[in-house]
Amino acid sequence: MTTLFQIPTNHPLQMPDTEAAFFTVRAKNMLPTLKPGWKVRAHEVPPAQWPTINNTVICVETNEGFSPIIMRLKENQLLETALLHLHPDNRNHYKWNVPLHAIRRIWQVTHIVDGLIV
């Protein structure tokens, strides 16, 4: 059998990484950037670094029992007001302010690893 395509060994998808996680986009809030059904790769952000991340797409797991949500972090005010201000890329969806006490884990989304382009 002939291999038509092989991911190079130095490609991020080949690198061993115990902190990598994969999520399926469930909602339309990130259209047109991310479509429902697409899978993304993310790296967990250690809690000590939460105040330093900004202007990136993140996945947040809260203590409230909801599924992790993927949104764009535009305003990180954890140090000032103990809030993350998350914005959808889809203008028909609402912003979400997440208080620090409700955050269980944060991942920074780095790659789209699977998705049908139509």
Question: What HEC string does the chain produce?
Answer: CCCCCCCCCCCCCCCCCCCEEEEECCCCCCCCCCCCCCEEEEEECCHHHHHHCCCEEEEEEECCCCCCEEEEEEEEECCCCCEEEEECCCCCCCCEEEEHHHEEEEEEEEEEEECCCC
CATH number (3.40.605.10, 3.90.950.10, 3.20.20.70, 2.10.109.10) of 20-112 reads 2.10.109.10
- The tens digit of pLDDT for each residue in 34-81 reads 999 999 999 999 999 999 999 999 999 999 877 899 999 999 999 999
Look over the chain and give the mean of its residue pLDDT values, rounded to a whole number.
86
Is pLDDT at 17 greater than 70 in this prediction?
no
What's the pLDDT at 4?
A: 44
- Average confidence (pLDDT) over 87-98: 96
What's the pLDDT at 5?
A: 42
- Average confidence (pLDDT) over 90-101: 95
Domain ranges of the chain: 20-112
Q: How far apart are CA 82 and CA 84, in angstroms?
A: 7
Structure tokens at 14: 């080949």
Percent of the chain predicted with pLDDT > 90: 75
Is pLDDT at 18 greater than 80 in this prediction?
no
Q: How long, in residues, is the chain?
A: 118
Least reliable range by pLDDT among 8-22, 24-38, 43-57, 72-86: 8-22
Q: How far apart are CA 66 and CA 81, in angstroms?
A: 23
Instruction: Say whether pTM exceeds 0.85.
Output: no
